[in-house]
Chain A
Amino acid sequence: EPEVTQTPSHQVTQMGQEVILRCVPISNHLYFYWYRQILGQKVEFLVSFYNNEISEKSEIFDDQFSVERPDGSNFTLKIRSTKLEDSAMYFCASTLLDRRDTQYFGPGTRLTVL
């Protein structure tokens, strides 16, 4: 069964460094999302992306964050200058364009900022 994959599974970085989290959505999906879960808190929405544009973003998704679909398969989240509070599990999700009621999630990337 097709699945969403994410790499790396765990990323450790120093504060102030740039990180890129990578996602490979299911191949025929066209709508993409990033969520994150800070330890002990709720999973929270960051951004949705369709047709090479951001559709919606939360107030968390400030200028330090960006998303890109650099080719036909990858979907990336970049954090330009990481802060300690960016430490979290980051999830990618994707949906079919006409079945946006069901989001398929990847296993997540655990980001640790030291």
Chain B
Amino acid sequence: ILNVEQSPQSLHVQEGDSTNFTCSFPSSNFYALHWYRWETAKSPEALFVMTLNGDEKKKGRISATLNTKEGYSYLYIKGSQPEDSATYLCASSGNTGKLIFGQGTTLQVKP
């Protein structure tokens, strides 16, 4: 894998559904994996930064896991709410700090 790739590109779920997205990234020269939440007309907001293989992080109903050996991360949202509607961006960084982004997953939660 040469680039950061995210799937699915978009997702429509009902309120209360749980959902998850995937981020694939190059496992060579890996330093950190970042998840951002981006609502239209607002600043992308940092959700998680993960560095260690097997890392799991949680923030309320949102959690993320990291597998650096195989080069993937999952983001989970438990019991989706309409306010979770946003684009979720994944990015990989090396030790220079430069972020390499995936294309994002746009989540729409219907009430």
Asked, given contacts A3-B43, A105-B44, whether A95 binds B101 with beta carbons under 8 Å apart, the answer is no
Cα–Cα, bound, A100→B32 (Å):
11
Number of interface residues of B (CB under 8 A): 24
Cα–Cα, bound, A33→B44 (Å):
14
Asked, given contacts A101-B32, A105-B43, whether A56 binds B98 with beta carbons under 8 Å apart, the answer is yes
Q: Which of B34, B43, B45, B104 gathers the greatest number of chain A CB atoms within 10 Å?
A: B43
Report whether B43 and A43 are in contact in the complex, using a CB–CB cutoff of 8 Å.
Answer: no
Q: Indicate with 1 or 0, residue by residue over A10-35, a CB within 8 angstroms of chain B CB atoms.
A: 00000000000000000000010101
Rounded to whole Å, the gap between the CB of B105 and the closest CB of chain A is 12
When distances are taken between beta carbons in the complex, the residues of chain B under 8 Å from A43 are 89, 91, 99, 101, 104
Cα–Cα, bound, A6→B51 (Å):
30
Q: Confirm or deny: B111 has a beta carbon within 8 angstroms of a beta carbon on chain A.
A: no
Asked, given contacts A101-B49, A102-B49, whether A107 binds B99 with beta carbons under 8 Å apart, the answer is no
Cα–Cα, bound, A105→B87 (Å):
15
- Residue of B42, B93, B103 touching A42 (CB-CB under 8 A): B103
Q: Confirm or deny: A55 has a beta carbon within 8 angstroms of a beta carbon on chain B.
A: yes
Indicate the size class of the contact surface on chain A: 20 to 34
Q: Confirm or deny: A45 has a beta carbon within 8 angstroms of a beta carbon on chain B.
A: yes
Report whether B101 and A42 are in contact in the complex, using a CB–CB cutoff of 8 Å.
Answer: yes
Q: Confirm or deny: B29 has a beta carbon within 8 angstroms of a beta carbon on chain A.
A: no
- Residue of A35, A42, A44, A103 touching B46 (CB-CB under 8 A): A103
Cα–Cα, bound, A4→B103 (Å):
23
Report whether A55 and B96 are in contact in the complex, using a CB–CB cutoff of 8 Å.
Answer: yes
Asked, given contacts A42-B102, A101-B51, whether A31 binds B43 with beta carbons under 8 Å apart, the answer is no
